[in-house]
Amino acid sequence: MRLGILASHQGTNFQAIIDACQSGNLDAEVAVAISNNSKSRALARARLANIPTVHLSSKTHPQRDELDKALLSTLRDHQVDLVVTVGYMKKLGPQTLQYFQGRIINIHPALLPKHGGEGMFGMEVHKAVLESEDAETGVTVHYVDGNYDTGQIISQTRIQVMPDDTPESLAARVLAEEHKLLVNTLKQLTETPCNHQMKVR
């Protein structure tokens, strides 16, 4: 399976995918890494792994429809089978969503549908979990639709919130589980039709 990665910043989940592919733990290859941030760590990780990189953003394509068209064209040119968004901070356009319907997944550091939506990313998610006094949090992998974090859930894993947790300590524990769940879900998606809902624990 050929993967197309969309990332905006650090790309630690992307690194987990790279490592799994290189070790043979995941029967897939990253065909291209795309970022809306030309200086993102994600693109640097891709270059170190000899993965093609592309910067596409409002700077390269000021018109939204043109950006959407360029993104879709890049994914198609690299013969991508499955798109994986890992910390990608932009909504995908209608052309890309339609062409790859059921073949775009995202990972979110909470138990959706709780603590999802616009503005819920990074440390903001973990702050919201603690402010809500939730007993548990977790990680969700879901299909991407036209809105933030509303697509069909594919897999989730649960993590207990500790009494002395800070947003930083919670984030660290959640991130470790993100890497595991994402790779395990991708392993099942290489063997399962993308429109089939799975449960991974």
Q: Which residues are catalytic?
A: 108
Angle between helices 123-131 and 167-189 (to 10 degrees): 110
> Is 142 within 8 Å of 154 (Cβ atoms)?
yes
CA dihedral 49, 55, 57, 63 (to 10 degrees): -140
Q: Look up tokens 């390269």; give the residue.
A: 60
Residue 51: CB atoms within 10 Å: 20
Please name the residue ranges forming H helices in the chain.
Answer: 12-23, 41-48, 64-77, 94-99, 123-131, 167-189
